[in-house]
Amino acid sequence: MSAVAIEGAGEGAAQGEVLVRARGLRKQYGSLEVLRGVDLTVRRGQVVVLLGASGAGKSTLLRCVNHLEAADGGEIWVDGVPIGFRHDGDRLHELREKDVARQRAEIGMVFQRFNLFPHRTVLANVTEGPVQVRGVPRREAEAYARELLERVGLGDKVDTYPDRLSGGQQQRVAIARALAMRPKLLLFDEPTSALDPELVGEVLAVMTELAREGMTMIVVTHEISFAREVADHVVFMAGGVVVEEGPPEQVIGAPQHERTRAFLARVTA
């Protein structure tokens, strides 16, 4: 992988400062309580891995962070800004979708099913955000997009359409698309779960490289070895609450809770 620095990562402030703080997050669908008071702190430059069984509420938590889902209660602050709200004196005023979009531009997201735009080329997928949202001149956006695609090992695929790519290649384009916005924070929702086993490694390699360069990341994954090797902090969720959290050596190496142990036994079996 080349040495082009990812702009936005770890920029502007010292490492270790709090970038994401979620407090008392609640969310329910009908009568189903999916998040029941979740707290989460992510420091700048940290990689936080969310573990938990299917249905634990991991995706919902992640989607609240960029307001794809509106929480029913609690707050999320990213880089001093309340997500979905405008901070005015001692009140939070709910934002309109147009203004939420501005907040989202600072937060990248990578989806389990890639969600590349099938009607645009690989290059156009990556330049779409900068050009349409930030108003970056096309030439400049394309130059940076080519740089990013080169980084994720797809420099020769710029003019291809997504359906010509393998799952691993599509996911790497999706990562480049997120990076093109120079985000402060990247969210990954099971980025390798839809991939054939032999393609998982290439995506994890890109993510590992990003982590090394200081990108702040929240990652939902079942790849325990990735969590063990790359995460700074591991959060184990079950039933809409955080059951246990700490450094990977602790949560994965010496889990305190029965539910954590049972989960780890299942996924590493």
Partner 1 sequence: MADRAGAALTRPVDAPGDGELLPQVRIRHWGRVVAGLAVLAVLGLLFQAISRGDIDYASIPALLTQDVILEGLVDTIVLAVVAQAGAIVIGTVVALMRTSANPVLRWVSWAYIWVFRGLPVLLQILLWYNIALVFPAFSIPIPFTDAYLLDQPANVIMTGFLAALLGLGLNESAYMAEIVRAGLTSVDRGQTEAAKSIGMSPAKVLSRVVLPQAMRVIIPPTGNDFINMLKGTSIASVIGFTELIHAANALSSRSLAVMETLLAVAVWYMVVVSVANVGQYYLERHYNASIRPTGTRGSVWAKVGGSLRTPPFMRSSR
Ligand X SMILES: Nc1ncnc2c1ncn2[C@@H]1O[C@H](COP(=O)(O)OP(=O)(O)O)[C@@H](O)[C@H]1O
In the complex, minimum distance from the CB of residue 261 to partner 1, in angstroms, rounded to a whole number: 34
Residue 55 interacts with, from partner 1, ligand X, Mg ion, none (CB under 5-8 Å by kind): ligand X
- Residues engaged in binding partner 1 (CB under 8 A): 66, 68, 97-98, 101-102, 104-109, 111, 113, 115-121, 128-129, 132-134, 161, 163-164, 174, 177-178, 180-181
| 255 binding ligand X? (CB under 6 A) | no
In the complex, minimum distance from the CB of residue 120 to ligand X, in angstroms, rounded to a whole number: 27
In the complex, minimum distance from the CB of residue 263 to partner 1, in angstroms, rounded to a whole number: 27
In the complex, minimum distance from the CB of residue 58 to ligand X, in angstroms, rounded to a whole number: 4
User: How many binding residues for Mg ion (CB under 5 A)?
Assistant: 1
The candidate with the shortest Cα–Cα distance to 167, out of 120, 119, 112, is 112
Identify residues 26-65 at the interface with ligand X (CB under 6 A): 29, 32, 34, 52, 54-60
In the complex, minimum distance from the CB of residue 91 to Mg ion, in angstroms, rounded to a whole number: 33
For the chain, the DSSP string reads ---PPPTTTT-SS-TTSEEEEEEEEEEEETTEEEEEEEEEEEETT-EEEEE--TTSSHHHHHHHHTTSS--SEEEEEETTEETTEEEETTEEEEPPHHHHHHHHTTEEEE-TT----TTS-HHHHHHHHIIIII---HHHHHHHHHHHHHHTT-GGGTTS-GGGS-HHHHHHHHHHHHHTT--SEEEEESTTTTS-HHHHHHHHHHHHHHHHTT--EEEE-S-HHHHHHH-SEEEEEETTEEEEEE-HIIIIIS--SHHHHHHHHHHH-
Pick the closer one to Mg ion by CB: 13 or 70. Answer: 70
With CB under 5 A as the contact rule, the residue among 46, 59, 171, 221 that binds Mg ion is: 59
| 66 binding ligand X? (CB under 6 A) | no
Pick the closer one to partner 1 by CB: 133 or 241. Answer: 133
By the criterion CB under 6 A, which residues form the site for ligand X? Answer: 29, 32, 34, 52, 54-60
By the criterion CB under 5 A, which residues form the site for Mg ion? Answer: 59
